[in-house]
Amino acid sequence: MASILGGFLRRLTGGGDEDAEGSGAAAGPAMAYNGYTIQPAPRRDRGQWLTAGTISKDFPDGPKSQYFVRAETHASPDLASEFAVVKAKQIIDERGDLLFKDYAPPPPKD
């Protein structure tokens, strides 16, 4: 039970997936949409690909970005990338700059 919960928490917080060799795929090409940049970044999960990516925007006080991952799975990274763009546009249309309201920059990497 503890290992199941631990695996769930790792995936929820962006940690590794135990049965994926390199959980990420080569990210799809970034695209501009209504002043935002969408960067698809599908993630491998149990033989399927999760819809995931980053939405970013430049502000006067510097660039901000927000990572998203959805539960939808796809048979290939290309399909997951295409759907990530659709979902990112939906997120932008629904939330706009509120997406970055509680923005905290990522911690520095060692």
Burial class (CB in 10 A: 0-12, 13-18, 19+), 64: middle
DSSP labels, 29-65: PPEEETTEEEEE--EEETTEEEEEEEEEEEETTEEEE
pLDDT (tens digit per residue) in 13-33: 444 444 444 455 557 789 999
Calculate the average pLDDT of the chain.
Answer: 81
CATH topology of domain 24-100: Double Stranded RNA Binding Domain (3.30.160)
Determine the pLDDT at residue 21. 42
Determine the average pLDDT of the residues in 89-110: 83
Determine the pLDDT at residue 19. 41
pLDDT band at 110; cut points 50, 70, 90? low
Q: Above pLDDT 70, what percent of the chain?
A: 71
pLDDT (tens digit per residue) in 65-84: 999 999 899 999 999 999 99
Would you say the pTM of this structure is higher than 0.95?
no
What is the C-alpha to C-alpha distance for residues 92 and 84, in angstroms, rounded to an integer? 12
More reliable by pLDDT, 54 or 5: 54
